[in-house]
Amino acid sequence: MAISASELKLYKSVTNSDSGSNGGRMSTTQVVTGVANNLFPNVTNTQRTSGITRYRKAWLKNTNSEGRSLDNTYLWIRTLTQAGDYLRLHAGTNTDTQSDATAYTGWKGSGVANAVITGGSDTTLDVLADAATGFNNGDIVHISDGVNEEFITLDSTSGVSWAGSVATLTIADGATVENSYSSGTGTIIGACVNLGSIDSSSSLWSETNIHSGTYDETTYPLVTYNEGTVEDTWTLTFTGSGAFSVSGSVTGSVGSGTTSSDFQPANGSSYYFKIDKDGWSGTWTTGDSITFATHHAAKSIWIKEIVPAGCASYSNNKPQIGIYGESGA
């Protein structure tokens, strides 16, 4: 079965503030869609008058229970803000903070069609952006009028030119847009953050201080789970000839097991990982250890809100972020 929309969830970072430590690792707090102030707080009168730039980090998590990857994952600004502020997007890492994000370049923005776009012939299109940033050479760009939509790729060296807040976008390789679009607010054009594939995985299996035991991680690889696997580095330590304990550098202890049974520590309704009992062979001795890493089925994105000084007050400001992805194996 394909990945369903309900299996794609947004989560907050462990720190949510306006300080340099804002961001960091993924938390267990889900961002509930359609709820006011679910990620950003309200803009105060003082902030609106003087202007402010704020950052928040969110995580897109693929919780598909069949372990399918979400491939060719793109995010973009799907609807513009109704107020005088505007948003920019940028990919994050597993641990970066606001202190890192403030130095990032190539932020992705959006705008509306500044002229009619003719399908099958136009190799360029004009976008009225909310500021003279947000489109970059080589970007993947999403176009939609609510009926038709498509992705285009901009030329890598001359894909964007600016005249004030109007960006002229040139499609790579002389390609044309497929569909026709009207000018104005009915056609939204957004530069995409490319998150690639999102699924759980493992790496860095290393057996140390081993006497005569071994584990065949090629034939019996570590099993990971989209819902339960977390980003962590684990140490498995033998406490006897066939008994061991496992602890994560962040998660802490997840219990003990033996080589005669599958080791599958629970994480909520899912599992952190599974070690197959059939992979063990030889004789293990107290103190033997194995280290490995697991990677969650989630990737992060920074959202930057720019409030220019003197913005008018607006009580119901709800921009949207679009998500596109393909169900993989």
Say yes or no: 151 and 265 in one domain: no
Say yes or no: 144 and 172 in one domain: yes
Task: Supply angle C-alpha 242, 227, 301, rounded to 5.
Answer: 125
Say yes or no: 21 and 67 in one domain: yes
Say yes or no: 130 and 253 in one domain: no
Mean per-residue pLDDT over the chain, rounded: 96
Say yes or no: 205 and 150 in one domain: no
Say yes or no: 180 and 205 in one domain: no
Give the chain's residues under pLDDT 70: none
Q: What's the CA gap between 304 and 311, in Å, rounded?
A: 16
Residue 165, pLDDT score? 96
Say yes or no: 318 and 169 in one domain: yes
pTM of structure = 0.94
Residue 255, pLDDT score? 98
Residue 210, pLDDT score? 78
Residue 35, pLDDT score? 80
Q: What's the CA gap between 37 and 92, in Å, rounded?
A: 21
Residue 1, pLDDT score? 77
CA distances for 45 relative to 12, 48, 80, 82, 250, angstroms: 26, 5, 21, 17, 40
Say yes or no: 226 and 315 in one domain: no
Q: How far is CA 211 from the centre of its chain?
A: 42
Domain count, the chain: 2
Whether 176 and 46 have beta carbons less than 8 Å apart is answered as no
Say yes or no: 244 and 130 in one domain: no
Residue 209, pLDDT score? 77
Say yes or no: 283 and 308 in one domain: no
Residue 221, pLDDT score? 97
Residue 52, pLDDT score? 96
| Range of the structural domain that residue 278 is part of | 200-295
The residue written with tokens 């969650």 in the block is 296
Say yes or no: 190 and 93 in one domain: yes
